[in-house]
Amino acid sequence: MKQEYPIFEGVGTALITPFRDGAVDYDALGLIIEEQINAGIDSLVICGTTGEASTLTDEEHRSVIEYSVKKSAGRVPIIAGTGSNDVAYAIDLSLHACEVGADALLQVTPYYNKASQLGLVKYFSTIADEVDRPVILYNVPSRTGCAIGIDAYKELAEHPNIIATKEACGDISFIAKLAEAVDGKMDIYSGNDDQIVPIMSLGGKGVISVLANIAPSVTLQMAHACLEGDFALGAKLQLEYLKLINSLFMTVNPIPVKQTMAYLGKCTSEMRLPLCEMTDKESDKLYNVIDEYRDRLE
């Protein structure tokens, strides 16, 4: 039977993975997790796009998930990014995440090799058949070159272990069609911070958020206003923080948010190639926006 309640409602932070001297900085990661939980965050998403999963070694990927589960100690749900373009590897990584206590699994559309719609249904269903934790799909065609269509979504929504999707296609009309098609059989989370309120107005349960790394309280206020039906407040906050949101995507995510976290003293700005720091001009532009909002960040 399909799980009849969401993994979370509100905000799941797409957490960065801090590095120092070429290695994962677990001290900084632990402090960031504590700050997020103290802010009242609804869930943490580990080793997703913002967590630079694509450049983590297999050992690091598994270790970061396990560390985050232990650090959270059941205080918030941990959603582990365990997707791949290799179904066998995705299953193996997913089984490890289940073994160490992750509450749910985030599965991105397979990248580079792409897939037909039938291939996507078989791919996600095969993974979901093998694990005992709920699966959240992740549709981000701008990064993967592969998009889940409405008919595929309708079929996947019938799988008892596929409970939600993180939608980052950017197309509100598509989200409306998706919500109509799945008819409550699959929860929808916004995958874009600039679309939290529009997607939640169509029945979305919340957001998997980059913004929440630096402004968890504001992101929570925005999403929970929508959950409580106060879309006027949600829209006010969406527009008030749009400049900040846009600054976090002025170049490829997670470059701006990681530099912002370093600017705020929470970790280094270290990334792994092909990601690299912005130019001085770009950085100055980012930091000017951060300074404008600084007294509202926590």
Residue type (1 letter), 24: V
Q: Which of 71, 153, 166, 241 is catalytic?
A: 166
Residue type (1 letter), 295: D
Mode of pairing for the β-strands spanning 23-24 and 19-20: antiparallel
Contact 167, 189 (CB under 8 A): yes
Orientation angle between helical segments 58-72 and 26-38, nearest 10 degrees: 40
Q: How far is CA 72 from CA 37, 64, 141, 283, in A?
A: 8, 12, 31, 32
Q: Which of 71, 123, 138, 258 is catalytic?
A: 138
CA 182 – CA 209 distance, rounded (Å) = 23
What is the CA angle 172-208-107, rounded to 5? Answer: 90
Name the DSSP class of 18: -
Q: Determine the straight-line distance between the first and last CA of the chain, rounded to whole angstroms.
A: 40
Which stretch of DSSP H or E encloses residue 90? helix 87-100
Of 8, 11, 35, the residue nearest 266 (C-alpha):
35
Name the DSSP class of 279: P
Can you point out the beta strands (E) in 109-241? 135-139, 162-167, 187-190, 206-209
Contact 37, 26 (CB under 8 A): no
Is 205 a catalytic site residue? no
Is 166 a catalytic site residue? yes
Catalytic residues: 138, 166
